[in-house]
Amino acid sequence: MVGGGVLSIREVNALEIEQFEWLFGNIIEHCPEAARAAALQRPFRRVVDLKIAFCHFLDGLDTRGKESVLFNHPDLASKHSDGKKLTQESETEQNTAGIDAMTREERLTLNNLNQMYKDTFSFPFVICARENRVQTILTAIEERLKNSREVELKTGIDEVKKISSLRINDLVWPDA
């Protein structure tokens, strides 16, 4: 899904660093340091180069840094995570997947699976909600519970990359 964006890549390149960090500060959930790192990669020729800058930030993190990125994501179907209010981006993304319209039984199942996942891997289950619906999310979490921690760390970061790409699409016009 391609978003409409509000800025051209030329306008992104012209932003003052503080403006860039403010605008792109939640491309990776609660991770303004990613925006700071991406800002230093300017100028970008294309939107894809901006997306690559965020991916390179994630790829450059050590295991602890990647875990921290995953810890910053809320549990699906949760309005609050560790005392933090759900960000507008996460709420919109979860609603797109139908999380807000789950049945009581689906919500209970998801909450139980979320807890099992955190008990197993010590970080929250992360999936690109905009690319999924409730049933595929439930199936994915059940399947991913069978993975090793290393595989899940990589899978979770790959999902963060998908989320980041879609969030950038919401902010920046597609390349012509």
Q: Which two tokens stand for residue 58?
A: 């994630």
Q: What are the pLDDT digits (tens) for 115-144?
A: 999 999 999 999 999 999 999 999 999 999
- 80 assigned to active site: no
Mean pLDDT of 26-41: 97
Taking the C-alpha atoms of residue 27 and residue 7, their distance in angstroms, rounded to an integer, is 15
Tokens of 65: 């840094």
* Cβ-based neighbours of 135, under 8 Å, separated by 6 or more: none
Between residues 60 and 3, which one has the greater pLDDT?
Answer: 60
C-alpha dist (Å) from residue 55 to 110, 119, 150, 164: 28, 27, 18, 8
Does pLDDT of 26 surpass 90?
yes
Residue 1 in this model has a pLDDT that exceeds 50? no
The neighbouring-strand residues paired with 172 are: 7
- For the domain spanning 9-171, the CATH number is 1.10.3330.10
Q: Does residue 84 or residue 140 have the better pLDDT? A: 140
Query: Phi, psi at residue 168, to the nearest 5°?
Result: -65, -40
Cα–Cα distance measured from residue 83 to residue 102, given in angstroms and rounded to the nearest whole number: 23
Name the average pLDDT for the chain.
Answer: 93
Domain residue spans of the chain: 9-171
Confidence at residue 4, expressed as pLDDT on a 0 to 100 scale: 77
Q: Which band of pLDDT confidence, cut at 50, 70 and 90, is reported for residue 78?
A: confident
Q: What is the pLDDT of residue 82?
A: 47
Residue 2: is its pLDDT beyond 60?
no
